[in-house]
Amino acid sequence: MSVATFEVFRAIAEPNRYAIVELLREGARPVGEIATALDIRQPHASRHLRILAEAGVVSARSAAQSRIYRLEPAAFGSLEHWLGTFAEIWTERTDRLETYLERVAEEEEEQGR
């Protein structure tokens, strides 16, 4: 799986960040409102938003006294994107399963000798 794909997965898998994504589905929000809605401190909300922004899930613009966050439709939101993300995760996962099984087989062969 590409780094970018796993970044998106990791970004949205954490419960607070998942809640932020759900909240932003309803529309853009300033960081203060996001913190209030999730009942977390604003610096904590900002860290989560930074992770989401680095993964390309949200983007920010500066308004009068705050930063307004919104979902990035290009990176997130379509079923096609979800399927692509999980297709990559499962491809890597099954690659690793195969690699592990090969290692087990080698070890068994060595022991059998």
In whole angstroms, how close is the CB of 6 to other proteins at the nearest point?
6
Among 33, 38, 40, 47, binds other proteins (CB under 8 A): 47
Task: State how far the Cα of 49 lies from the Cα of 104, in Å rounded to an integer.
Answer: 42
The yes or no reply on residue 26 touching other proteins (CB under 8 A) is yes
DSSP structure string for 9-51: HHHHHSHHHHHHHHHHTT--EEHHHHHHHHT--HHHHHHHHHH
If one asks whether residue 82 binds other proteins (CB under 8 A), the answer comes out as yes
Q: Any contact of residue 6 with other proteins (CB under 8 A)?
A: yes
C-beta of 63 vs 102, nearer to other proteins: 102
In 10 A of CB 82, how many CB atoms?
A: 14
102 interacts with other proteins by CB under 8 A: yes
